[in-house]
A and B are shown apart, each in its own frame.
Chain A
Amino acid sequence: MSETEPQAESTARSSATTTGETDERIREEWSDYSFAGEAKLSVEDLDVYYGDDHALKDVSMDIPEESVTALIGPSGCGKSTFLRCLNRMNDRIKAASIDGSVELDGEEVYQDGVDLVELRKSVGMVFQAPNPFPKSIRDNITYGPRKHGDLDTGLLARLTGRDDSETADELVRRALEQAAIWDEIEDRLDDNAMGLSGGQQQRLCIARCLAVDPDVILMDEPASALDPVATSKIEDLIEELAEDYTVVVVTHNMQQAARISDQTAVFLTGGELVEYDDTDKIFENPESQRVEDYVTGKFG
């Protein structure tokens, strides 16, 4: 995933930052985007470096709640890096250094004393390749809550009468129904998740993410490893989820972004956010020439 990006970055950097003048022009274009209501996530002047590579340059954007925000752009443009900053998954990459501010409901994410457990409970993530644990479907769903101590179905709990098995069953059912996969796997909850098809695995991963009850769901190209039928199921699901959750989706596929998202941010090579606006506007009448070239397929 993002490990591959730094290499692409270095070649692209020189071409993107030709003059300071273009940077200014682009900046004015996107910063006007405004929406009604509070921002769920608010990013301010975010810079990310992988060693010497400047992977993300001075990105600022506000993400409204209960909507789908698509991040599009060519490979290596920093969109996955941006996504992984929102739940601090980039902390896991040793070479990455992050500068700037990300606020979740007005609370700064990058400050001392942030509880990563709580942060990642509220900001869940779904990855490009389906990555269910090699456990039963039920265990996959209950994994997060059990590890957070919200569910206890262990032997000791059963003996002492504090058994949460019923809550767990309800949770499994709710999560799988929300992920639109309950009907397909209802009677095989104790089978190993590795036996599901790719599309089912990905919806299971979404259900696993929903089980910890997040506010925001980050998805890193969630359908790029799937066939068209599974992809359309995932897309329908994303649109449904946006009624209750704030969804941020990274995608390569511009048609997908146009279909499912409410607003779209276009990253271009060099790690800049070039334009961020309503999806219709981005695809029909973008401000920036470069974005128009990109969405019409002339470039990228």
Chain B
Amino acid sequence: MASATDTSVVRGDTSTYETVAALTVGLAAVLFFLGLAATVELVSITGTLAGLPTLTTLGLLLVLMGVAVAGFGLLSYRGVFPTDPRASAGVVAGGLFAGLWGLIGALVAAETLGLGVVGAVAGGLVLGAVGFFATALPREDIGSTLPAGALAVFFGLVFLLGVVGPEWSWSPANFPDAQAVTFFAATVAPFAVMASSLVVGWAAAKAYGGFGARGRHLGAYLLVYLNAVSIIGVLVALVAFVVFKGFGPVTRGVEIGLGVGPATTIGLFGFGFDIVWPVSWPFLMNGASLFTDITGVFPAIVGTIWLVIGAVVLSVPLGVGAAIFLTEYAEQGRFTNVVEIATNALWSTPSIVFGLFGAAFLVPRFTPQPQKSLLSGMITLGFMLLPLVVITAREAMIAVPDEYRDASAALGVSKWQTIRSVVLPAAMPGVVTGVILGVGRIAGETAPLLLTMGGGSFVGAGQRAKVLDGFQLSLSPPFVTNPELTQAATALPYQLYQVILTGTGETAGVNDVTAFGWGTALVLLGVVLAFYAVGIATRQYFRSKLTYE
């Protein structure tokens, strides 16, 4: 292997070794994602995989990987490959393997050998100690490969020998019947596969880098990379699941063509004209009533949009104003600290508390009789959004360089004008980011709406919140009134809750309540994403004014 270029800087030809190690890393990644897929039942534990029973295939792959990784360690130790291992794999890795092997020891002693609690403790301690010392004492190439390989081989054999088969289950005896817990193979096996493929992948990545600093870097890189990819994977799975389930109900009866859609009267203060939509999309355009063929969520969409608009209009000026005062005017000290703690605490306050406040304080105030209303809902959600706007606007303003303030002051420009013309524009992208985050939360909020806005879960299209039409002028105070705001309205998350939980759909002409629920969820997702898109475009607009491109 060693050649003329084998110096301390340039390593010799290690292509075969590296290829095999890279293949092992790839195999570990594949196994990890198989495990991940099995947890969401994309891969069936009881079915087959690649022609063999799933657990057999997984077991074979685990044994293969385990042997390969242990082989890397031994071959590196014998000096067959030019590697650069440290004296020890380190205490952290030791602790990790002590934990993994200790757990295995305790479970095997207590359950397989039937030694009870004492046996579990003893077995755990013994195997944990073995795991620790096997990792921490020998040279790095042995210490980081053998315990990892042994773990994979152990789980592989457990699957291959049928100790844990597809129908396996385990009910720990110590739990009283009322709290009985049962672990099924479908739950346990994927996690065993993921855990062993993580440690084996880590060991193989270290081997690929030839241990030492480069190996550690690659090992850590693999773990971080798998972590990031699995986070994205979970997100994609979630969205894909909702889209998959909701697409059918949402697109039922869609027609495109001139004049197929419903007629809309666009108008404000009584003036208006009719347009006929060229698209008919029943789920988005219909309400729910006994006379509609395909029930839809139009009133709930309108309600959600008005809620978000109301909450943003209420909270952004107040929040940005508070942030200006706290950052630019208030003396930094105890008072600002208290305000900061209070805003942070307010942001993490459970939403039902805001809902209770709204129900007790806002609901009785706008109408002669206490009545849940769109306005109460807007204000409650506005209060919920307020702390986040304050926090992010404050952060954004603190991040504006003092050089801008100095430059403006040196030109003789007053503080308020400086804030308005220099600080606020520079802080705007940050403020918008905060609002985007907050809108995502409040648009999906159900608990406060339950208590403050109410509204039937199935509302006809005609009963939507017609806020623009609702404005009425009068000659006596308060001159402008809008009865729509003081009436109950419905919103998507609230409707979703009603449909899923109370199953009130059948009486309102909904044939398939579950499908209706998934459709509502997809629409809610779409509305929130649409608000995100608006927010991101706004942020981009403000950012483009600040930078040169």
**A105 CB to nearest B CB, Å:** 17
Q: When each residue 450-493 of chain B gets 1 if its CB lies under 8 Å from chain A and 0 otherwise, what string results? A: 00000000000000000000000000000000000000000000
Chain A residues 222 to 281 lying within 8 A of chain B, measured CB to CB, are none
Alpha-carbon separation in the docked complex, A135 to B546 (Å): 6
Query: Are the C-beta atoms of A147 and B413 separated by less than 8 Å?
Result: yes
Query: Which residue on chain A has the smallest CB distance to residue B417?
Result: A147
**Within 8 Å of chain A (Cβ to Cβ): is B118?**
no
**Within 8 Å of chain A (Cβ to Cβ): is B409?**
yes
Alpha-carbon separation in the docked complex, A188 to B320 (Å): 33
Query: Which residue on chain A has the smallest CB distance to residue B420?
Result: A147
B426 contacts which chain A residues (CB < 8 A)? Answer: 134
**Within 8 Å of chain A (Cβ to Cβ): is B548?**
yes
Identify which of B412, B546, B548 gathers the most chain A CB atoms within 10 Å of its CB: B412
A212 contacts which chain B residues (CB < 8 A)? Answer: 411-412
Q: Choose, from A17-25, A49-57, A123-131, the stretch at the interface.
A: A123-131
**Within 8 Å of chain A (Cβ to Cβ): is B541?**
no
**Within 8 Å of chain A (Cβ to Cβ): is B406?**
yes
Q: A131-B403, A133-B404, A134-B426 are in contact. Are A144 and B413 (CB under 8 A)?
A: yes
Query: Which residue on chain B has the smallest CB distance to residue A129?
Result: B403
Query: Are the C-beta atoms of A117 and B403 separated by less than 8 Å?
Result: no
Chain A interface: which size bin?
A: 20 to 34
Q: A134-B547, A192-B548 are in contact. Are A144 and B412 (CB under 8 A)?
A: yes
Report which of A124, A134, A144, A205 forms a contact with B546, defined as CB distance below 8 A. Answer: A134
Chain B residues 413 to 472 lying within 8 A of chain A, measured CB to CB, are 413-414, 417, 421-422, 425-426
B421 contacts which chain A residues (CB < 8 A)? Answer: 143, 147
**A185 CB to nearest B CB, Å:** 12
**Within 8 Å of chain A (Cβ to Cβ): is B401?**
yes
Q: A134-B546, A192-B546, A192-B548 are in contact. Are A127 and B406 (CB under 8 A)?
A: yes
Alpha-carbon separation in the docked complex, A129 to B401 (Å): 12
**B221 CB to nearest A CB, Å:** 35
Query: Which residue on chain A has the smallest CB distance to residue B406?
Result: A127
Query: Are the C-beta atoms of A127 and B407 separated by less than 8 Å?
Result: yes
Query: Are the C-beta atoms of A89 and B410 separated by less than 8 Å?
Result: yes
Report which of A87, A118, A192, A193 forms a contact with B410, defined as CB distance below 8 A. Answer: A87
Query: Are the C-beta atoms of A209 and B411 separated by less than 8 Å?
Result: yes
Interface size on B, residues (CB 8 A): 22
Alpha-carbon separation in the docked complex, A195 to B544 (Å): 12
Q: A129-B403, A133-B422 are in contact. Are A124 and B547 (CB under 8 A)?
A: no
Query: Are the C-beta atoms of B413 and A133 separated by less than 8 Å?
Result: no
**A51 CB to nearest B CB, Å:** 16
**B353 CB to nearest A CB, Å:** 39
Query: Are the C-beta atoms of B404 and A131 separated by less than 8 Å?
Result: yes
Chain A residues 106 to 163 lying within 8 A of chain B, measured CB to CB, are 116-121, 124-125, 127, 129, 131-135, 143-144, 147-148
Alpha-carbon separation in the docked complex, A124 to B546 (Å): 25
Alpha-carbon separation in the docked complex, A194 to B549 (Å): 9
A131 contacts which chain B residues (CB < 8 A)? Answer: 401, 403-404, 406-407
Query: Which residue on chain A has the smallest CB distance to residue B407?
Result: A131
**Within 8 Å of chain B (Cβ to Cβ): is A191?**
yes
**Within 8 Å of chain B (Cβ to Cβ): is A173?**
no
Q: When each residue 497-521 of chain B gets 1 if its CB lies under 8 Å from chain A and 0 otherwise, what string results? A: 0000000000000000000000000
Query: Which residue on chain A has the smallest CB distance to residue B422?
Result: A133
**Within 8 Å of chain B (Cβ to Cβ): is A208?**
yes
**A148 CB to nearest B CB, Å:** 7
**Within 8 Å of chain B (Cβ to Cβ): is A92?**
yes
Query: Are the C-beta atoms of A205 and B547 separated by less than 8 Å?
Result: no
**A22 CB to nearest B CB, Å:** 36
Alpha-carbon separation in the docked complex, A119 to B411 (Å): 9
B548 contacts which chain A residues (CB < 8 A)? Answer: 191-195
A124 contacts which chain B residues (CB < 8 A)? Answer: 410-411
Q: A131-B401, A134-B546, A192-B546 are in contact. Are A147 and B411 (CB under 8 A)?
A: yes
B410 contacts which chain A residues (CB < 8 A)? Answer: 87, 89, 120, 124-125, 127, 209
Alpha-carbon separation in the docked complex, A209 to B411 (Å): 7
Query: Which residue on chain A has the smallest CB distance to residue B413?
Result: A147
A209 contacts which chain B residues (CB < 8 A)? Answer: 410-411
Chain A residues 180 to 205 lying within 8 A of chain B, measured CB to CB, are 191-195, 205
Query: Are the C-beta atoms of A116 and B412 separated by less than 8 Å?
Result: yes
Query: Are the C-beta atoms of B546 and A143 separated by less than 8 Å?
Result: no
**A91 CB to nearest B CB, Å:** 9
B546 contacts which chain A residues (CB < 8 A)? Answer: 134, 192, 194
Q: List 13 A-B contacts (CB under 8 A).
A: A118-B412, A125-B410, A127-B406, A127-B410, A131-B401, A131-B403, A132-B407, A133-B407, A134-B425, A134-B545, A143-B408, A144-B412, A191-B548
Chain A residues near B (Cβ < 8 Å): 87, 89, 92, 116-121, 124-125, 127, 129, 131-135, 143-144, 147-148, 191-195, 205, 208-209, 212
What 5 A-B pairs come out closest when comparing CB atoms? A195-B548, A120-B412, A131-B403, A125-B410, A192-B548
Beyond the given pairs A133-B404, A135-B545, A143-B411, 6 more chain A to chain B contacts, judged by CB atoms under 8 angstroms and listed by A's residue number, are A87-B410, A127-B410, A133-B408, A194-B548, A195-B549, A209-B411
